[in-house]
């Protein structure tokens, strides 16, 4: 699943191709991905609209149009790219937004069709964004703020990082990587983290995500940026997908456990509960 670094890479690459263009028409092949809206509702809403900018919030992509926002979530296998008329369509393309230059189309491709597309008229609250936590790359949060946010939560820190409510944009890969960098056992209850642990966590989140972004994100099975380039951060994984391999700090084998049905990778020597 694309996480913050991968989604941010997508946004940065498509932004110059979309900004200041007008959407001349839109088509959708899987209506369920737009629910509760319909293909007709969204195509009427976006047709003739000017693209003001493209932003990322957590793992969401917001295409800000005159009159509203097109909100896209890539989920497991979604991709977004601009295709010129000369290029052959790829399999599994699900939505097409034609641009006013007559040659380019913003394409949403999604083999598993779990991604979502919604349109929110200007001035209307964008529901999916309301409960998102801090932006890991931009927000300067204090240790006390993070402690306060975690003190109320009794679940383990790893699944908490996935739920988007404290920081938005961290998924399964970067949750394991961040906790190794912060030397925190992923099974530790949020409310039991020491002040020193919270401080290390607060510091590790932006460092790990910025580094991954510099590398164009991580490419596992099928993430590629809109220009087709794979990310390279997977070569720098410290724990993710390294079960049995030596910890790069202490040499002990990396362990894999399952938390909330997702794999967690960690070093039981370097990562402590206190
Ligand atoms: Zn270790």
Q: Which of 72, 98, 130 is the last residue of a domain?
A: 130
How many structural domains are present in the chain? 2
Q: Is residue 136 part of a domain?
A: no
Q: Is residue 93 part of a domain?
A: yes
111 and 220 housed in the same domain: no
Residue 87 is among the residues annotated as catalytic for this protein = no
Residue 208 belongs to a domain with what CATH number?
Answer: 1.10.8.50
Taking the centre of ligand 1 as the mean of its atom positions, its distance from the CA of residue 183, in whole angstroms, is 9
111 and 202 housed in the same domain: no
Q: Is residue 273 part of a domain?
A: no
Residue 5 is among the residues annotated as catalytic for this protein = no
For residue 223, pLDDT over 80 is answered with no
154 and 80 housed in the same domain: no
125 and 20 housed in the same domain: yes
Taking the centre of ligand 1 as the mean of its atom positions, its distance from the CA of residue 246, in whole angstroms, is 8
Q: Which range of residues forms the domain containing residue 92?
A: 4-130
147 and 221 housed in the same domain: yes
Q: Evaluate the CA torsion angle 263, 131, 107, 34 in order and state its sign.
A: positive
Question: How high does pLDDT run on average in the chain?
Answer: 95
Taking the centre of ligand 1 as the mean of its atom positions, its distance from the CA of residue 269, in whole angstroms, is 5
Residue 262 is among the residues annotated as catalytic for this protein = yes
Q: Is residue 53 part of a domain?
A: yes
Q: Evaluate the CA torsion angle 13, 14, 20, 21 in order and state its sign.
A: positive
Taking the centre of ligand 1 as the mean of its atom positions, its distance from the CA of residue 156, in whole angstroms, is 20
Residues 6+ apart with CB under 8 A from 36: none
Strands (E), 21-176: 23-28, 51-57, 60-65, 68-73, 79-84, 93-99, 104-109, 116-121
For residue 222, pLDDT over 80 is answered with no
Taking the centre of ligand 1 as the mean of its atom positions, its distance from the CA of residue 47, in whole angstroms, is 54
Q: Is residue 135 part of a domain?
A: no
Q: Which phi-psi region, left, alpha or beta, contains residue 112 (left: φ > 0; alpha: ψ -120 to 50)?
A: alpha
Out of 64-78, 153-167, 208-222, least confident range = 208-222
Q: Evaluate the CA torsion angle 33, 8, 2, 123 in order and state its sign.
A: negative
Backbone angles phi, psi at 72, to 5 degrees: -120, 135
8 and 126 housed in the same domain: yes
Report the alpha-carbon distance of residue 200 to residue 190 in Å, rounded. Answer: 14
Residue 80 belongs to a domain with what CATH number?
Answer: 3.20.190.10
Q: Is residue 138 part of a domain?
A: no
Q: Which of 105, 130, 155 is the last residue of a domain?
A: 130
Q: Is residue 148 part of a domain?
A: yes
Give the per-residue pLDDT at 229. 78
- Pairing verdict, β 60-65 and 68-73: antiparallel
Q: List 109's β-bridge partners, or say none.
A: 79, 93
Active-site position among 21, 49, 59, 147: 59
Active-site position among 47, 57, 192, 262: 262
118 and 203 housed in the same domain: no
Taking the centre of ligand 1 as the mean of its atom positions, its distance from the CA of residue 240, in whole angstroms, is 13
Q: What average pLDDT does the segment 19-30 reach?
A: 97
CB-CB contact of 94 with 113 (8 Å): yes
Q: Is residue 272 part of a domain?
A: no
Q: Which of 60, 95, 130 is the last residue of a domain?
A: 130
Q: How confident is the model at residue 227 (pLDDT cuts 50, 70, 90)?
A: confident
Distances (CA, A) of 139 to 40, 143, 187, 218, 250: 38, 12, 26, 23, 32
126 and 147 housed in the same domain: no
90 and 31 housed in the same domain: yes
84 and 182 housed in the same domain: no
157 and 124 housed in the same domain: no
Active-site position among 3, 8, 64, 177: 3
Nearest CA-CA partner of 17 in 93, 95, 98 = 98
Instruction: Please list all protein residues whose beta carbon sits less than 5 angstroms from ligand 1, which is an ion.
Output: 247, 249-250, 267, 269-270
Taking the centre of ligand 1 as the mean of its atom positions, its distance from the CA of residue 110, in whole angstroms, is 37
Q: Which two tokens stand for residue 35?
A: 């629910």
Instruction: Provide, rounded to the nearest whole percent, the portion of the chain with pLDDT above 90.
Output: 90
Q: What average pLDDT does the segment 4-20 reach?
A: 96
Q: What average pLDDT does the segment 128-144 reach?
A: 93
186 and 232 housed in the same domain: yes
Tell me the pLDDT tens digit for each residue of 41-83: 999 999 999 999 999 999 999 999 999 999 999 999 999 999 9
Residue 274 is among the residues annotated as catalytic for this protein = no
Taking the centre of ligand 1 as the mean of its atom positions, its distance from the CA of residue 166, in whole angstroms, is 26
Of all helices (H) and strands (E), which one includes residue 152? none
């Amino acid at each position: 699943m694309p996480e913050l670094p991968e989604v941010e890479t997508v946004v940065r690459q498509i932004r110059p191709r979309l900004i200041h263009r007008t959407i001349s028409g839109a088509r959708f092949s899987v209506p369920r991905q737009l629910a509760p809206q319909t293909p007709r509702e969204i195509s009427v809403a976006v047709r003739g609209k000017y693209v003001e900018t493209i932003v990322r919030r957590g793992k969401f992509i917001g295409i800000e149009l005159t009159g509203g926002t097109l909100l896209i979530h890539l989920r497991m296998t979604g991709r977004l790219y601009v295709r010129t008329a000369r290029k052959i369509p790829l399999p599994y393309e699900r939505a097409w937004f034609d641009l006013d230059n007559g040659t380019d189309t913003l394409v949403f491709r999604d083999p598993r069709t779990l991604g979502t597309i919604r349109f929110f008229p200007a001035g209307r609250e964008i529901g999916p964004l309301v409960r998102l936590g801090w932006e890991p790359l931009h927000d300067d949060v204090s240790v006390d703020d993070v402690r306060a946010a975690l003190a109320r939560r009794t679940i383990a820190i790893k699944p908490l990082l996935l739920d988007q409510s404290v920081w938005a944009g961290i998924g399964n890969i970067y949750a394991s990587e961040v906790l190794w960098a912060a030397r925190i056992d992923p099974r530790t209850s949020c409310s039991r983290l020491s002040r020193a642990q919270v401080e290390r966590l607060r510091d590790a989140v932006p460092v790990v995500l910025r580094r991954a972004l510099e590398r164009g994100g991580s490419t596992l099975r099928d993430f590629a940026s809109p220009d087709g380039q794979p990310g390279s951060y997977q070569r720098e994984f410290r724990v993710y997908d390294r079960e049995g391999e030596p910890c790069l700090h202490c040499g002990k084998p990396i362990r894999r456990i399952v938390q909330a049905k997702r794999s967690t990778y960690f070093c039981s020597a370097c990562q402590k509960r206190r």
